[in-house]
Amino acid sequence: MKDEKYYVSYNTVHNLVKGLAQKLIDSSFNPDVIVAIGSGGFIPARIMKTFINRPIYAVGISYYGVDKKHKNYPTKIQWIDEVQEQIRGKKVLLIDEVDDTRATLAYCVGELLKYKPEEIAVLVLQNKLKEKDVNFPPEIKRYYPAQEIGDLWIKYPWDADDIEEHTKLEKAMLERQASRSK
Ligand code: G4P
Ligand code: MG
């Protein structure tokens, strides 16, 4: 169902990030810095800091310019000129909430690679299993999606108006899923 929604609560976000932190440790990837893609990557990145305690740099990339006009390509709305040196030669953990078309993520990776990091790993809460508009360049050897889901619209807690209702909707969704898989 295309208009089906996939609800994610704050507790789920926290637990997904905790699981990803463990995966980083298990795969011996020890990042020097976190780069968060705003705004969706901000809260996951902050939770990750709780587990791996690395500095966070924030970048803003959007399909919508600051003038809110839709564009067909991602553009930088905030960038990290002054921290270029923080990226050079470093292991970077790039965090966003969702890998949808991959356009924003791949663009951001391309820009960060210009600063010659030692490595960039990409981490997202959800990867939508669908045909992507672009691929990651071969420099991306580590990709950590916490969940792989279909092409559904994800409802994140930070977009909720009524967080109690949002949390209940997630619970109902998980119960439906559990009864279907019985
Ligand atoms: P990608 O590289 O991560 O796949 O992102 P893509 O350019 O395809 O996404 C365009 C915008 O749509 C992004 O927002 C992304 O977060 C948002 N988006 C895509 N799928 C979903 C979804 O299922 N649920 C929600 N809530 N958002 C989705 P953005 O321009 O980065 O804005 P922001 O919300 O991060 O500030
Ligand atoms: Mg985003």
Helices 42-52/10-26 angle, 10° precision = 50
User: What are the residues whose beta carbon lies below 5 Å from ligand 2 (ion)?
Assistant: 40
Atom of ligand 1 nearest to the CA of 106: 2
Tokens of 25: 């440790």
pTM (whole model) above 0.85: yes
| Block mean pLDDT (10 aa), the chain, length 182 | 85 98 97 96 98 95 67 79 83 98 94 96 98 96 98 98 98 95 84
**95 alpha carbon – ligand 2 mean position (Å):** 10
The Cα 157–Cα 160 span in angstroms is 5
> Given this model, what pLDDT does residue 62 score?
79
Q: Whose CA is nearest to atom 27 of ligand 1?
A: 154
> Given this model, what pLDDT does residue 63 score?
72
> Given this model, what pLDDT does residue 71 score?
67
**Dihedral (C-alpha) 103, 108, 110, 116: value to the nearest 10 degrees?**
-160
**182 alpha carbon – ligand 2 mean position (Å):** 35
- Omega before 39 within 30 of 0, i.e. cis: yes
Catalytic-role residue among 3, 99, 100, 161 = 100
Q: Whose CA is nearest to atom 15 of ligand 1?
A: 98
> Given this model, what pLDDT does residue 85 score?
82
> Given this model, what pLDDT does residue 53 score?
98
CATH T-level fold of 10-149: Rossmann fold (3.40.50)
At 158 the three-state DSSP class reads helix
Respond yes or no: is residue 96 known to be catalytic. Answer: no
> Given this model, what pLDDT does residue 69 score?
63
Q: Whose CA is nearest to atom 1 of ligand 1?
A: 102
DSSP 80-149: -GGGHHHHTT-EEEEEEEEESSSHHHHHHHHHHHTT--SEEEEEEEEEE-S--SSPPPTT--EEEEEEEE
The Cα 73–Cα 93 span in angstroms is 23
> Given this model, what pLDDT does residue 25 score?
97
Establish whether residue 127 lines the binding site of ligand 1, counting it when its CB lies within 6 angstroms of any ligand atom: no
Number of C-beta neighbours around residue 64 at 10 A: 12
> Given this model, what pLDDT does residue 61 score?
86
